[in-house]
Amino acid sequence: MFFVFLDDKRLDEWVSIERFLKKEEADEYLNENQETSTTATVTTQDLRSKSGSGAAVAGGGKTERTLTRTMRRKFEESHQMGGNRRPFDDPLVEQLELEHEAATKVKNIQKIEIGRYEIDCWYYSPFPDAYATAEKLYICENCLKYMRFPKTLINHQKHCTAETKRHGKLIYKKNNLAVYELDGEIDKLFCQNLCLIAKLFLDHKTLYYDVSPFYFYLLCEIDDEGTHPVGYFSKEKNSPDDYNLACIMTLPPHQRKGYGRFLIQLSYEITKREGKTGSPEKPLSDLGLVSYRSFWTLELLQKLKSSRPASLSITGLVEMTAFKREDIIDTLARINLLTIWRGEPALNYTPKAVDEHLKSFAGKKFTICDPKALKWPQK
Ligand code: ACO
Ligand code: ZN
């Protein structure tokens, strides 16, 4: 088997030799190599899974080293959810970082089954070793526990029902949608499982096992058969950078139904109620960026449309939306509704220009997060 890296990493996959060679050539190759051929595997040891004991196994399990407390802190800092890769001054930490990057390049879990969906995974996720080699994982929709065999899931589900084990506080319910708020400190295992699943579809974020500094907002669809998770976002309880969203993910079968926009809107509704302004944690993925740009653009256009031009300022937009000033400036500059006046950015638009831009959203159906249905905060 070979692991093929493609331009779009989501399409990376394990392929057999037959996919590269003509049939006769492939037969010949397989005959010749039958005795000696081995499956090329990459050890996907995750350093952080061992770091609790202060020891890390790196380099495909060949080297064992003890990390000093400072090295571990540096390593962990760089691997917090959304942590950017930073240069290290310590060569050993740098080497561990490179080894970790190499080990996590290759997608380990190929598929998951959750509810009525079988989903192709996109990226590596640090599931424990015993699960990381499974072709497919079976996930309980209720507690997000992952299993290797369908039978185990069936047995598990007999005792794990939505009625008895639903996690978190119900903070939103309207039509067929519900949102649960989970505290990483309280529902630790559930939130860790959620992160592991989310990482299967997130490339640029690294997973951090300490979920306690985060809240998680789980979006579920409700139907006659029960409550089905479709997406989520996480949020730091205290963000020194005013991030109001750390990670966002919609499960692929539910993407492009407006749930990403719904979750982004929800994150800003919460920020408004906190009396703050906020922005998503950087860097954004390609899909994260299109989703945010689309959301910011439409929200701002609607505010411009409903106000008299002279009555509005960038500061007014910040107050109305809870968006960060720089996100407003960047969004409006992209659609040429901004000018520089006395060295400062200022709004510069006509109702006609706003209508023109709004046309590009005409006919789209949005899944709106109704602020009246949001019961937040809750005691
Ligand atoms: N190609 C082009 N545009 C897209 C695509 C796509 N594949 N997917 C979404 N969009 C656009 C939509 O057209 C929509 O814009 P519009 O309203 O102008 O039509 C906008 O993005 C939002 O679409 P939604 O349906 O509301 O979003 P969705 O439920 O698909 O979720 C999300 C978006 C969460 C980014 C999803 O694509 C996802 O989970 N991706 C994988 C994980 C990821 O990359 N998360 C973001 C990381 S950044 C961070 O966490 C801070
Ligand atoms: Zn369960």
> What does the H/E/C string look like for 50-117?
HHCCCEEEECCCCEEEECCHHHHHHHHHHCCCCCCCCCCCCHHHHHHHHHHHHHCCCCCCCEEEECCE
Testing ligand 1's pocket by substitution, the residue of 256, 327, 357 carrying the most ligand atoms inside 8 A of its CB is: 256
Cα–ligand 1 centroid distance for 288 (angstroms): 6
- Report pLDDT digits (tens) over 8-65: 666 666 555 455 555 555 444 444 433 332 222 222 222 223 222 222 222 223 323 3
Give the dihedral sign, CA 88/90/94/99. negative
Closest C-alpha to ligand 1, atom 9: 256
Please tell me the number of the ligand nearest to residue 166's CA: 2
267 CB-near residues (< 8 Å, 6+ apart): 217, 233, 235, 244, 245, 248, 278, 280
Mean pLDDT of 242-253: 98
For the CA of 250, the closest atom of ligand 1 is 39
- Supply angle C-alpha 239, 177, 218, rounded to 5: 30
Residue 100 vs residues 47, 83, 95, 103, 104: alpha-carbon distances, Å: 7, 14, 8, 5, 6
Cα–ligand 2 centroid distance for 46 (angstroms): 25
Least confident piece of the model among 59-73, 202-216, 231-245, 355-369: 59-73
3-class SS of residue 149: coil
Q: Do 87 and 114 form a contact (C-beta atoms < 8 A)? A: no
Question: Over the chain, what is the mean pLDDT?
Answer: 81
What pLDDT was estimated at residue 97?
A: 72
Least confident piece of the model among 23-32, 129-138, 208-217: 23-32
Single-letter residue type at 74: K
177 CB-near residues (< 8 Å, 6+ apart): 219, 220, 221, 222, 262, 367
Model confidence at 219: pLDDT above 90: yes
What pLDDT was estimated at residue 164?
A: 59
Q: Greatest CA separation found in the chain?
A: 79
Q: Do 145 and 155 form a contact (C-beta atoms < 8 A)? A: no
What pLDDT was estimated at residue 281?
A: 97
Q: Do 368 and 262 form a contact (C-beta atoms < 8 A)? A: yes
Q: Do 378 and 169 form a contact (C-beta atoms < 8 A)? A: yes
Q: Do 96 and 56 form a contact (C-beta atoms < 8 A)? A: yes
Task: Read off the pTM.
Answer: 0.80
Helix 351-359 to helix 286-305 angle (10° resolution) is 140
Mean pLDDT of 284-305: 97
Please, which pLDDT band fits residue 91 given cuts at 50, 70 and 90? confident
Testing ligand 1's pocket by substitution, the residue of 250, 289, 293 carrying the most ligand atoms inside 8 A of its CB is: 250
